A and B are shown apart, each in its own frame.
Chain A
Amino acid sequence: MNIQEIEGEIILEFASFEDWLDKYNHIIESARNIPRIEPKYKEEKFLIQGCQSQVWLRADLEDGKVIFTADSDALITRGIIALLIRVLSNQPPQDIIDAKLEFIEKTGLHQHLSPTRSNGLASMVKQMKLYAIAFKAQTEAQ
């Protein structure tokens, strides 16, 4: 599936919840399925700045696609980054760079998790795009 298709899937999932508590429950569930970063990479270099909790994010390029792994010590944060990974991982760098990530708004997540909440949602997206930009530059240079 491409980015838009996965986003559509997530939007549908969230639409089925009426109560905000259920939405959080879904985020927490997502946290359990996160492709975990290897413990040895849980170091300063992979920490994302700007979050109240710690978030580690790593990216590798495999067969022209970016593979993200991550973790966080807070469950909600881990759930959010897990959702972002579900959308953006295993995609070509250019698609990640172009991704509009409309699901954040359409699921109502932005309203629960505005950037001022210092959950670092914006920092995570930015870091993922930066990885994609770097991989693109790397491939083009070869």
Chain B
Amino acid sequence: MSINVEQLRREFPVLSQTVNGKPLVYLDNAATTQKPKAVVERLMDYYYKENSNIHRGAHYLSMQATEAYEEARETTRMYLNAAFSREIIFTRGTTESINLVASSFSQKFLKEGDEILISAMEHHSNIVPWQMACQQKGATLKVIPMDEQGVLRMDTLDELLTEKTRLVAVSHVSNALGTINPVEDIIGKAHQKGIPVLIDGAQAVPHMKVDVQKLDCDFYCFSGHKLYGPMGVGVLYGKEEWLEQMPPYQGGGEMIKEVRFTGTTYNELPFKFEAGTPNVGDVLGLEAALRFVSYLRHDVISVYEDSLMQYAMKQLATLPGIRFIGTAEHKTSVISFLFDDIHPYDSGVILDKLGIAVRTGHHCAQPVMDFFNIPGTIRVSFAMYNSLKEIDLLMDALKKVRTLFS
């Protein structure tokens, strides 16, 4: 099996438009991916035929919706190969998943003088919640450094994992550099010292098969919208043993068993962490996205995306004055670069006029830009529907940028 990109693109209506009179070349997939018809149709079906609040009404629609919602949880469990579906919590996205753990885990387990360990290449979403938790508890945030290639300095890990470390939070794949981090090694080393590990999988899940049991991570977070699903829905996987011990994140309906003014008993997992009416429609949309990706198969998608990446790297390398930011050996689907002395903002403006959507700036990873002492980068990021032809169009556009600014 392989990807027939022409056929695949027909599943994504957004892609067939023109921008500024040019065919849209969408290479900003690390920010968000486009949605296939299967996902949009699932949303429509839900709102046209099934909409109802769940886990409460005894009427037909409510029971249907409840069943569909819990089935989506099971689909997500299978997708990540989690042990139990009660280990799958639906959230608003990666950011909320991380905030949930940072808040709830810290409330119970973080004390003054403790440490949380993150890495030098984290997205702001995997920095700020931990800073907030540390501030509140008087704990310290420690950082695994990286080298000039954008690879984590694993040699520092033994020293950074101390008896004060309460949790390690690292990204599976860096959104600014594309580096695939050796999370198995990090998890292994942390577990030797009994320290749990949270993986920010926002940029990994769209590009590789993730097996949370094989990884043995304690928490895994991702966003639906970066995986061809709707915006506003995401997943937190947590090992039961941790989730059981953690206090609820928010209070409200759904997460309770009994409420009296004298006190409340909380519902069991996963409902304890899903206060209020959940985002049923988008969860079902996410399920459709997971099915869509599973149907195409991750191994097939990876091979195709790797070929796009190889081709793009080879082409980009022919541009005089190009400087790649993030040159790790293990990378996926993200190429960050600068060329000549052209400010990324300047390139971005002109590329946009030429119909090319890329991201320019700091990519919500300012510490990474500070490390390389640059204002930002041009970031090209691929999805399954990108084509070699689009890379050629990108190259033509970059040559125009160069002429304009030289």
Q: Which residues of A contact B (CB under 8 A)?
A: 20-21, 24-25, 28, 52-54, 73-77, 112, 117, 119
Contacts A75-B346, A77-B345, A117-B349; is A54 near B375 (CB within 8 Å)? Answer: yes
Q: Nearest 8 CB-CB pairs, A to B? A: A74-B343, A74-B345, A53-B345, A52-B345, A74-B346, A76-B346, A75-B346, A76-B349
Contacts A24-B350, A53-B375; is A75 near B361 (CB within 8 Å)? Answer: no
Which residues of chain A come closer than 8 Å to B353, judged between CB atoms? 20-21, 24, 112
Contacts A52-B345, A52-B360; is A75 near B405 (CB within 8 Å)? Answer: yes
> Is B404 in the interface zone, CB < 8 Å from A?
yes
Which chain A residue lies CB-closest to B352? Answer: A117
Contact partner, A53, options B343, B350, B400, B404, Cβ 8 Å? B343
B382–chain A nearest beta-carbon distance, Å: 23
B379–chain A nearest beta-carbon distance, Å: 14
Q: Are B346 and A52 in contact (CB under 8 A)?
A: no
- Total A-B residue contacts, Cβ distance less than 8 Å: 39
B384–chain A nearest beta-carbon distance, Å: 29
B358–chain A nearest beta-carbon distance, Å: 13
Contact partner, A76, options B345, B361, B376, B400, Cβ 8 Å? B345
Contact with A along B359-375 (1 / 0, CB 8 A): 01100000000000001
**Which applies to chain B's interface (DSSP): helix, strand, loop or mixed?**
helix
Number of interface residues of B (CB under 8 A): 14
Which residues of chain B come closer than 8 Å to A76, judged between CB atoms? 345-346, 349
Contacts A28-B404, A28-B405, A53-B375; is A73 near B343 (CB within 8 Å)? Answer: yes
**Which applies to chain A's interface (DSSP): helix, strand, loop or mixed?**
helix
Which chain A residue lies CB-closest to B361? Answer: A52
Which chain A residue lies CB-closest to B354? Answer: A21
Q: Which residues of B contact A (CB under 8 A)?
A: 342-343, 345-346, 349-350, 353, 360-361, 375-376, 400, 404-405
Most buried by B among A76, A77, A119: A76
Which chain B residue lies CB-closest to A25? Answer: B404
Most buried by B among A20, A75, A112: A75
Which residues of chain A come closer than 8 Å to B350, judged between CB atoms? 24
Using A24-B349, A28-B404, A76-B345 as known contacts, list a sample of 9 further A-B pairs with CB atoms less than 8 Å apart, ordered by residue number in A: A21-B404, A24-B350, A25-B404, A52-B376, A74-B345, A74-B346, A76-B349, A112-B353, A119-B349
Q: Are A24 and B404 in contact (CB under 8 A)?
A: yes
A-B contact pairs, 11 of them (CB 8 A): A20-B353, A21-B400, A21-B404, A24-B349, A24-B353, A52-B360, A52-B361, A52-B376, A53-B375, A74-B345, A112-B353
Q: Are B375 and A73 in contact (CB under 8 A)?
A: yes
Which residues of chain A come closer than 8 Å to B342, judged between CB atoms? 75
- Cα A53 to Cα B347 with chains together (Å): 12
B401–chain A nearest beta-carbon distance, Å: 10
- Cα A119 to Cα B400 with chains together (Å): 21
- Cα A75 to Cα B346 with chains together (Å): 7
Most buried by A among B343, B353, B360: B343
- Cα A24 to Cα B405 with chains together (Å): 10
Which residues of chain B come closer than 8 Å to A112, judged between CB atoms? 353
Which residues of chain A come closer than 8 Å to B345, judged between CB atoms? 52-53, 74, 76-77, 119
Which residues of chain A come closer than 8 Å to B343, judged between CB atoms? 53, 73-75, 77
Which residues of chain A come closer than 8 Å to B405, judged between CB atoms? 28, 75
Which residues of chain A come closer than 8 Å to B360, judged between CB atoms? 52
- Cα A57 to Cα B405 with chains together (Å): 23
B378–chain A nearest beta-carbon distance, Å: 12
Which residues of chain B come closer than 8 Å to A75, judged between CB atoms? 342-343, 346, 405
Which residues of chain A come closer than 8 Å to B404, judged between CB atoms? 21, 24-25, 28
